[in-house]
Amino acid sequence: MYLQKHSGRRPCAAITAALLAVIQISAAQTPAKKPKKTQDIPEVVITATMSETESWRTASSVTVIDRKKIEEQQYRFAVDALRNVPGVTIATPGIPGNVATVMTRGTTTKDTALMIDGRPLPANLAGSFNLETMALDNVERIEVLRGPAASLYGGRTMGGVINIITRSGKGLEKPKSTAFFETGSYGTFREGLSSIGAIGKLDWGIEASRTDMQGQRENSQFKQTNLAGKVGYQFADSLRFDLDMRHYTAEVGDPRANVGTNANDPDNRVLTEFWSISPRLVWDTNDRWTQSLTFSHSQFRQVSTGYNDPPFFNPDNRTSSRTDFLEYKSIVKVTDKWTLTAGAWFQDQKISRVNDTAGMLDISQAQTNYALFVQSQAELFKGFNLINGVRYDKYSDFSNAFTWRSGISYMVPKINTVLHANYGTAYTPPTPQDLTPVFGGNPALITPERSRGYEAGISQPLFENKLTLRATFFRNDLRNTYQYLPPFFIPVAVGSATTQGLESGLDWNPCAMFGLNLSYTYLDAYDNTNMARLVRRPRHSISGGIRFQPVKDVTFNLSAIYVIDREDYDPVTFAQRDLEDYLNVRLSANWRVSEHLDLFARVENLLGEKYAEIPGYPVMSTGAYAGLRLRF
């Protein structure tokens, strides 16, 4: 897949004229410029191989959401950006800031790892990573790797890896800073500052933001303060140090289903706090050998108040976790066509919970993980790439795991067709929630869930790379897996399950002022033991968008997600049933008034669709938002 730069307008004359006539934009009379030859820029990704590699060479399915798209689409949090990724399903309780379910290719939330600049974020009690509070104000891009990734990243990667890469001021001649303000429906206010720059050997990328929302439903407020920064120092041409620091606090209402006995209590609140500090040292030992050492310490706290449930089901409680992570990595370019990546890591996590209602400590767990990994990337002949990797993980509390991956990619000469295939094994160790009797878990559960996954795909650029067609078949065979089944929602062994399907789509960018993208995912997720569909996995997902730039500094984006044929548990009877299909349409507009001022506006749920991604938790109705951004 390639990113293109287009400066011509004549190839889109007919399309542009029709669209301009429909929306009656007077600026349509802007004089046309002569087209220039298209320049192809290979898309480079990091997550698939742990090193900068052209995406088509990785043999993997990787979607990149870059800074330009984040700003044009006005994505505010990570879950907003991930909704349009092929093969990824997002389900929330209908309000920002509340726990988000992220399912990649039909696997559960705990099966997709979350990283920031390659540093793994610690999981919470249920194995998820609080993506719903990850602000994007100073994020350079998001890379979503789909498919088993345990040979590089270890456990919780049966679905894939989400790597959030932050902005850096390295190499900038002049610092760049922004300040923004936004307001809109449901008592929403957002404001923030960010800056990237460099002075001599020192560089930085920092952000600070505040979000306040009253919400539409009773007890659906959301308040968050976010601080994050990355500071780097170039000690020598071959030695670099950087320090990543982040902190946020959030207060979220808990608008429960309000169905039957599950009534919405306006006093329910969840307060969270997270902070981390992570130094990294990168040493370019010589022209062909780079070594890095990364350490990370993080702490997470959560306080739930106002609950009146029985003391061992959903009580007032205080949960805390502490995680330490250490990784050594070595990348050796043996020849111009062969690269070896190897490393070792250590991760130690302690999680505890105090049940304030019962006045006791009811969860206390510590888990330690050691690992060694090695990967080979080789171009055997022109256009043909072979990737192999293995990893061994040793756990203090669970069975050890050996995983491997093998992939090939080939670009056909002259027509540039890219063929790729990938096979890998992966696993997910039990979460603290799976083990503790408080949630009906089994303390003796020591066998990780395991998977064998493979994919095969094709990508074809056409018309000087202005149009790209793609399709990938995938399949995951899961074993030792389990579900949280009603009415008690305690872990029940499933035995084996299968998720398989097709990801397909197209990107069409005929000129600078018009672009179209469309993707379709077919997913068949099945519990083989109980002969039933896995819940909350839609069989058909269609997403796409139109980008229209009538004049140089004005951009409109119309995007939509259509979800068809899904099942979930009824909140009253607990029977598994079909849920309604839904169409969510989103419109955004951006106007760069000057070098120093941007104006933006957007409409969420444009058609006012009434639906619930999780039964009993309806999404918000149509909302309009507008703001400005100052650049200096």
- Measured in whole angstroms, how far is the alpha carbon of residue 565 from the centre of its chain? 24
Confidence label for 588 from pLDDT (cuts 50, 70 and 90): very high
**Site of tokens 């899961």:** 478
* Residues in contact with 227: Cβ distance below 8 Å, sequence separation at least 6, in sequence order: 207, 208, 246, 247, 248
Looking at every residue in the chain, the average pLDDT score rounds to 89
Cross-strand partners of 453: 424, 476
Location of structure tokens 């919400």: 215
Which residue has 């220039």 as its token pair? 36
* Mean per-residue pLDDT, 96-120: 92
Domains (range + CATH), the chain: 2-196+207-227+398-631 (2.40.170.20)
| pLDDT mean over 394-415 | 95
pLDDT above 90: residue 258: no
- How distant, in Å, are the alpha carbons of 21, 34, 270, 486 from that of 31? 16, 10, 56, 64
Q: What is the DSSP letter of 20?
A: H
User: Does residue 195 contact residue 167 with C-beta atoms inside 8 Å?
Assistant: no
Find out whether 230 and 205 touch, Cβ atoms under 8 Å: yes
CB 144 within 8 A of CB 85: yes
Return the residue matching tokens 């000057």: 594
Q: Specify the higher pLDDT residue, 124 or 17.
A: 124
| Coil, strand or helix at 206 | strand
Query: Which pLDDT value is given to residue 573?
Result: 85
214: which 2 tokens?
């009253």
Q: What is the pTM of this model?
A: 0.92
- Neighbouring residues of 365: CB distance < 8 A, sequence distance ≥ 6: 350, 351, 352, 397, 432, 435, 436
* pLDDT of 261 above 70: no
CB-based contact 89:138 (threshold 8 Å) = no
Tell me what the mean pLDDT of segment 449-458 comes to.
96
State residue 4's pLDDT score.
Answer: 39
pLDDT given for residue 36 in this prediction? 43
How far apart (Å, rounded) are the C-alpha atoms in residues 564 and 555?
Answer: 30
- Strands (DSSP E) contained in 399-466 are 401-411, 418-428, 449-462
As a whole number of Å, the end-to-end CA separation of the chain is: 34
Point out the least confidently predicted range of 14-18, 94-98, 366-370, 589-593.
14-18
Separation between Cα atoms, residue 476 and residue 150, nearest integer Å: 14
Alpha-carbon Rg of the chain, whole angstroms?
24
Q: What pLDDT does 11 receive?
A: 44
Q: How many CB atoms lie within 10 A of CB 506?
A: 17
DSSP-based three-state secondary structure for 596? coil
CB count in 10 Å sphere of residue 605: 19
| 8 A C-beta contact, residue 578 and residue 597 | no
145 neighbors 164 (Cβ within 8 angstroms): no
Q: Rounded to an integer, what distance in angstroms lies between the CA atom of residue 50 and that of residue 425?
A: 18
Tens of pLDDT, residue by residue over 168-199, are: 999 999 999 999 999 999 999 999 999 999 99
Sorting pLDDT into bands at 50, 70 and 90, what band is 26? very low
Report which DSSP code applies to 86. Answer: T
259-275 in b/e form (b: 16+ CB < 10 A) is: eeeeebbeebbbebebe
Is there a contact between 262 and 255 (Cβ–Cβ < 8 Å)?
A: no
Q: Are 145 and 111 in contact (CB under 8 A)?
A: no
Do 190 and 208 meet the contact criterion of CB atoms below 8 Å apart? no
pLDDT category at 34 given cuts 50, 70, 90 is very low
Residues 6 or more apart in contact with residue 120 via CB below 8 angstroms: 113, 114, 153, 296, 325, 347
From CA 408, how far away is CA 455, in angstroms rounded? 11
DSSP-derived secondary structure for 49-71: TTS-EEGGGS-SEEEEEEHHHHH
Measure the CA–CA gap between 504 and 518, rounded to whole angstroms. Answer: 8
Q: What is the dihedral of CA 537, 542, 543, 545, to 10 degrees?
A: -170
Q: Which of 176, 171, 117 is nearest to 142 (CA)?
A: 117
Encode 94-119: b = buried (16+ Cβ within 10 Å), e = exposed: bbbbbbbbbbbbbbbbbbbbbbbbbb
How confident is the model at residue 12, as a pLDDT?
Answer: 53
- What are residue 234's phi and psi, to 5 degrees? -95, 95
Confidence of residue 3 (pLDDT cuts 50, 70, 90): very low
Burial annotation 178-200 (CB, 10 A radius, 16+ → b, else e): bebebebbbebebebbbbbbbee
Percentage of the chain beyond pLDDT 70 is: 91
- Where b means 16+ CB within 10 Å and e means fewer, 393-407 reads bebeebeebebbbbb
As beta bridge partners, residue 304 has 270, 317
Residue-wise pLDDT tens digits, 354-364: 998 888 998 89
Place of tokens 């990780």: 448
Query: Is residue 452 scored above 90 in pLDDT?
Result: yes
pLDDT digits (tens, 9 = 90+) for 621-631: 999 999 999 99
